[in-house]
């Protein structure tokens, strides 16, 4: 065995076929109503539909076995049928992670995905202005 146990774990945050109907992060709450994703609270960026799609397809950069004593704010994904998946959002020395205590797993995310999932504030990327040629 040349790989750590996390190498063999599924990096998807949500298993294929699961249908989220409500997603709550420390920054934002969205829910599926009348055929559309809508923001319930928090900032309007990312759009609720984009945030939901990001959750449905999100994959961690890496997965580590063993939840630890580090705790963070709850992130709850309520599924069609009423069950829920609860993560904890952790900033581990600048690296965003979602921890699932029920499975004993830690999902390491990149910053772009964490923003798409509504876990980090969106940033405005400024493009340097081109120098005027005289």
Q: List, for residues 49-106, the tens digit of each pLDDT value.
A: 999 999 999 999 999 998 888 899 999 999 999 999 999 999 999 999 999 999 999 9
Sequence-distant (6+) residues with CB within 8 A of 46 are 54, 115, 116, 118, 122
Sequence-distant (6+) residues with CB within 8 A of 68 are 99, 106
**Would you state the pLDDT for residue 124?**
58
Average pLDDT of every residue of the chain: 87
The pTM for the full model equals 0.84
Rounded to whole angstroms, the Cα distance separating 24 from 77 reads: 6
Q: What is the CA radius of gyration of the chain?
A: 17
Task: Give CA angle at 83 (77, 33), nearest 5°.
Answer: 60
């Amino acid at each position: 065995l040349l790989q750590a146990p996390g190498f063999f774990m599924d990096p998807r945050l949500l298993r294929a076929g699961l249908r989220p109907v409500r997603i709550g992060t420390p920054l934002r709450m969205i829910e599926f109503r009348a055929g559309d994703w809508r923001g319930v609270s928090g900032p309007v960026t990312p759009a609720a539909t984009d945030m939901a799609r990001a959750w449905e397809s999100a994959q961690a950069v890496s997965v580590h076995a063993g939840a630890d004593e580090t705790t963070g704010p709850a992130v709850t994904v309520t599924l069609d049928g009423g069950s829920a998946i609860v993560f904890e959002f952790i900033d581990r020395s600048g690296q965003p992670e979602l921890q699932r205590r029920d499975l004993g797993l830690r999902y390491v995310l990149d910053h772009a995905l964490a923003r798409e999932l509504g876990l980090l504030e969106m940033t405005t990327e400024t493009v340097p202005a081109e120098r005027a040629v005289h």
